[in-house]
Amino acid sequence: MRLPEILSLLRVARPPAPYGARTLARCYSIEDVARRARRRLPLGSRAYLESGAEDEYTLRRNRAAFDALEFLPLQPRDVTDVDTSTTVLGRRIPLPIALSPVGGPRMFHHEGELAVARAARHAGIPYGISTLATTAVEDVAAQTDTPLWFQLYLWGDRGKTREAIARAKAAGFSALLFSVDTTVRSKREREKRAGLELPVPDLPLATLLEGALHPGWAWHFLTSDTVSFPNTGPPDQRSLETISAMFDGSTRWEDLDWIRELWDGPILAKGVIRPEEAVRAADHGLDGVIVSNHGGRQLNHLPATIDMLPRIVDAAGDRLEILMDSGFRRGSDIAAALALGARAVLVGRAHLYGLAAAGEAGVRHCIDILAEELRMTMRLCGARNIDDLDPRLIRRTKPSTRSCPPA
């Protein structure tokens, strides 16, 4: 018998304290929140959240490329009123920010996607739900009226893909993000060194010790339902290993024609790096692309997305909505990406740190930090609205990997 079942028999009550929320007031940056998150999480979850592929060149490169940008402000300008709202996929949203789809949010906080969805609703911004989400799409949809986007991994078993799309559609999801960068799960050495296993094994000594060192996380984790992937199929296919085996190594652009028959709303390709692939996405009738290197988690030695963005905007910006993710930790990063042509950005770890540190309150806090920094950057650059952010504001310096924080 597993511990959650034992505890449910004993009817152990959950402590009422808002998990980690009190410490947020002293977190002024995403990195401050990240430090709290690292303290709260056991080694395995921390490695899963933060790791990149192999020796993590691309993970570091994402930050180095942002660090190599400088602003050339247009001054003086009347910036008493700054409007950060924009339109993404036909919907007006108050911030040019969406929350990236991620697998396994309940490994970071017991409320997982439900907490993130409530924070997205509070901010009025879109939220992407992964095929490998740890909460059913129907339950997430019940938490928010902001746009929900379903991120699709193409499984070898097309029946499963069809089923996942049908469920997202029935639950009211408004867009499909088709991941083109994950034909196989990459080699994440940091996860291996941390002994990451999913579902969490039946309490070997190492897990018990980690739990003792992180009692807040462990208490909630052990008294909540076992982490699983309810949008991917029957329970016997929910371990990380069997899920990896479900990836379809033969994914091609032509598959989009089949997906188009199943989904009549907007479809975006997630993980586009080459300008000509963005053109192909447009040729296949897609509505947009997400320029992404998966936060440095898939192919190592991919370039930073901010370096590829202008070329992709030049190639297909008049035919597609160009969104971007990977490496955003500051509102100034967001301002730079918008100035270089992104319609909006998605943030992955920058919301997960908040989730891990303090659940819904933590995610809200991270969105507030990014929004406030974006507003301030716009003011200081002389940009009154998103349209005022243009390439004249940006100067590139030589990238320096020395500015990367250590992995």
Ligand X SMILES: Cc1cc2nc3c(=O)[nH]c(=O)nc-3n(C[C@H](O)[C@H](O)[C@H](O)COP(=O)(O)O)c2cc1C
Catalytic residues: 294
Least Cβ distance, residue 294 to ligand X (angstroms): 5
- Going by their DSSP bridges, the two strands 394-396 and 267-272 should be labelled as unpaired
Should residue 270 be labelled a site residue for ligand X when binding is judged by CB under 6 A?
yes
Q: Which of 58, 326, 332, 377 binds ligand X (CB under 6 A)?
A: 326
Can you name the residues that pair with 128 across neighbouring β-strands? Answer: 149
Residue 159 sits at the vertex; the CA angle it makes with 199 and 180, to the nearest 5 degrees, is 75
Residues 138-157 that bind ligand X (CB under 6 A): 151
Least Cβ distance, residue 348 to ligand X (angstroms): 2
Q: Which of 327, 331, 341, 354 binds ligand X (CB under 6 A)?
A: 327
Using alpha carbons, select from 323, 327, 329 the residue that is nearest to residue 297: 327
Least Cβ distance, residue 132 to ligand X (angstroms): 4
- Select 101 or 331, whichever has its Cβ closest to ligand X: 101
Residues 291-310 that bind ligand X (CB under 6 A): 292, 294-295, 297
- Select 85 or 244, whichever has its Cβ closest to ligand X: 244
Two tokens, residue 78: 């009347």
Question: Helix (H, G, I), strand (E, B), or coil: what is residue 181?
Answer: coil
Which stretches of 95-188 are DSSP H helices?
Answer: 112-123, 137-141, 158-170
Stretch of residues binding ligand X (CB under 6 A), selected from 37-45, 164-172, 192-200, 344-352 = 344-352
Least Cβ distance, residue 7 to ligand X (angstroms): 27
- C-alpha to C-alpha distance for 354 and 217, rounded to whole angstroms: 14
Q: Which of 37, 49, 117, 123 binds ligand X (CB under 6 A)?
A: 49
Q: Which of 44, 52, 211, 348 binds ligand X (CB under 6 A)?
A: 348
Should residue 168 be labelled a site residue for ligand X when binding is judged by CB under 6 A?
no
Q: Which of 102, 267, 322, 386 binds ligand X (CB under 6 A)?
A: 102
Should residue 227 be labelled a site residue for ligand X when binding is judged by CB under 6 A?
no
Can you name the residues that pair with 149 across neighbouring β-strands? Answer: 128, 175
Using alpha carbons, select from 49, 22, 60 the residue that is nearest to residue 107: 49
- Select 93 or 132, whichever has its Cβ closest to ligand X: 132
Should residue 130 be labelled a site residue for ligand X when binding is judged by CB under 6 A?
yes
Q: Which of 179, 207, 231, 232 binds ligand X (CB under 6 A)?
A: 179
Should residue 106 be labelled a site residue for ligand X when binding is judged by CB under 6 A?
no
- C-alpha to C-alpha distance for 387 and 339, rounded to whole angstroms: 8
Two tokens, residue 191: 């996860």
Residue 316 contacts residue 281 (beta carbons within 8 Å): yes
- Select 252 or 395, whichever has its Cβ closest to ligand X: 252
- Select 103 or 266, whichever has its Cβ closest to ligand X: 103
Quickly tell me which residue has 């409007």 as its tokens: 83
Can you name the residues that pair with 346 across neighbouring β-strands? Answer: 98
Least Cβ distance, residue 204 to ligand X (angstroms): 23
Least Cβ distance, residue 16 to ligand X (angstroms): 28
- C-alpha to C-alpha distance for 281 and 289, rounded to whole angstroms: 7
- C-alpha to C-alpha distance for 107 and 98, rounded to whole angstroms: 21
- C-alpha to C-alpha distance for 69 and 273, rounded to whole angstroms: 19
- Select 79 or 176, whichever has its Cβ closest to ligand X: 176
The answer, yes or no, to whether the previous bond of 235 is cis (omega within 30 of 0) is no
Least Cβ distance, residue 251 to ligand X (angstroms): 13
Should residue 134 be labelled a site residue for ligand X when binding is judged by CB under 6 A?
no
Should residue 45 be labelled a site residue for ligand X when binding is judged by CB under 6 A?
no
Query: Which phi and psi (to 5°) does residue 228 adopt?
Result: -145, 180
Residue 394 contacts residue 71 (beta carbons within 8 Å): yes
Least Cβ distance, residue 231 to ligand X (angstroms): 11
Using alpha carbons, select from 357, 354, 355, 351 the residue that is nearest to residue 325: 351
- Select 294 or 375, whichever has its Cβ closest to ligand X: 294
Q: Which of 45, 100, 232, 300 binds ligand X (CB under 6 A)?
A: 100
How many Cα atoms sit within 13 Å of 314 on the Cβ side? 8
- Select 34 or 79, whichever has its Cβ closest to ligand X: 34
- Binding site residues, ligand X, CB under 6 A: 48-49, 100-103, 130, 132, 151, 179, 270, 292, 294-295, 297, 325-328, 347-350, 352
